[in-house]
Amino acid sequence: MLAENYHSQIVSQIKENEFTHRAGRLTIHLAREFGFCYGVDRAVDYAYQTRQRFPDQRVFLTGEIIHNPHVNEKLRAMGVQFLSDAAGGAASPSALDGLTPDDVVILPAFGVTVAMLKELDRRGCTLVDTTCGSVLNVWKNVRRYTEGGYTSVIHGKVWHEETQATASQAVEYGGRYLVVFDDAETEIVCDFIRRGGDSDAFLTKFRNAVSPGFDADRDLQRIGLANQTTMLMSESLAMGDKLKEAMIDRWGRETIDYHYQAFDTICSATQDRQDAVVALLRERPIDLMIVIGGYNSSNTANLARICADAKPTFHVADPDCLVSSGEIRHRPIGSKIEVTSTGWLPREGLINVGLTSGASTPDNLVGAAVARLAAFCT
């Protein structure tokens, strides 16, 4: 079923042809690492197996299995119910009220909070855990920070399911956390580490991104760096460097190991896709880039950000966004809304298009995008 739903013959052919496809005046250059990663492939595989294994029982997902609407709609069509649908977004405790021991609940690749896991266990549901191994590695290191008395500083999006689950690991083991999103927030944290300041103002700024009872004066004396696995590695490393330097300025280089730790929590699959698109832009004569993947997919959005720094880039949710050779629906970098642009594809002359997709995008969508592009240029 997975092969039937997500395999693409044309993508297989492109891989065999040095990741290049030519059609008329068009040349498509495909990144050498793209699409489904191991963790996503495993999660979707488990979800399909669960529906087959329990044909006569209700099967639920706490939320999206991955951030790809195409994949999630397939699961809905198979009769898998999403607890987050009733909650209007992320599943809340009230969304679990109707569950019984006869029900089966799939935990998504991002994982779930400790509180939700405990509640599901209390209700006696059969649980199928598809949490990605890279996410589990982050959790392991957050627990290590907690056991060592360090506050976990998590580079991530506080509203993202994975970051919420990671933060809950720190709280479960009696620790503290602070979620930091970008360079601007990093500078605020570093400034407080170096000079102290108004704790109330700090908590107001990070009010939704700290553990209960967080005390900036106390809890920023010893910190450990972790990250949401789909963030840009370069940004996570830069954040770590800045936090470490702030700690050195405050406490001295001789005691830095006591005040700052950083275990490797970078997801190799995420990094491989980022490295591949950088190599594509460097090695191929690209005129414009197309990045395919859900708009709420963090790793896809980061791929688009990398591309946009070098070439005109269009982040599209699916192949249907390639409306015609003159019209495209896409989400601009940094925007929250989809827009329609015209004149995006040159009407004459040779054209080199770079193509990649996020870790939650199956090959069949990439193949469909290739077919549309070819039709526009032949």
- Single-letter code of the amino acid located at 20: T
Q: How far apart are CA 255 and CA 356, in angstroms?
A: 44
Please classify residue 374 by burial: count the beta carbons closer than 10 Å to its beta carbon, then call 0-12 exposed, 13-18 middle and 19+ buried. middle
Q: Do 145 and 261 contact (CB within 8 A), yes or no?
A: yes
162 is catalytic: yes
The Cα angle at residue 289 between residues 283 and 290, in degrees rounded to 5: 135
Using the structure block, give the residue that is written with the tokens 């406490």.
251
Q: Do 108 and 82 contact (CB within 8 A), yes or no?
A: no
C-alpha torsion sign, points 273, 274, 276, 281: positive
- Single-letter code of the amino acid located at 110: F
Q: How far apart are CA 292 and CA 303, in angstroms?
A: 10
Q: Do 355 and 292 contact (CB within 8 A), yes or no?
A: yes
Q: Do 24 and 349 contact (CB within 8 A), yes or no?
A: no
How is residue 324 annotated by DSSP?
B
Q: Do 155 and 225 contact (CB within 8 A), yes or no?
A: yes
Q: How far apart are CA 133 and CA 372, in angstroms?
A: 35
Q: Of the residues 16, 147, 162, 338, which is catalytic? A: 162
- Single-letter code of the amino acid located at 279: A
**Residues near 279 by beta carbon (within 8 Å), at least 6 away in sequence:** 31, 32
Neighbours of 161 (CB within 10 A): 22
Helix (H, G, I), strand (E, B) or coil at 44: helix
Q: Could you list the active site residues?
A: 162
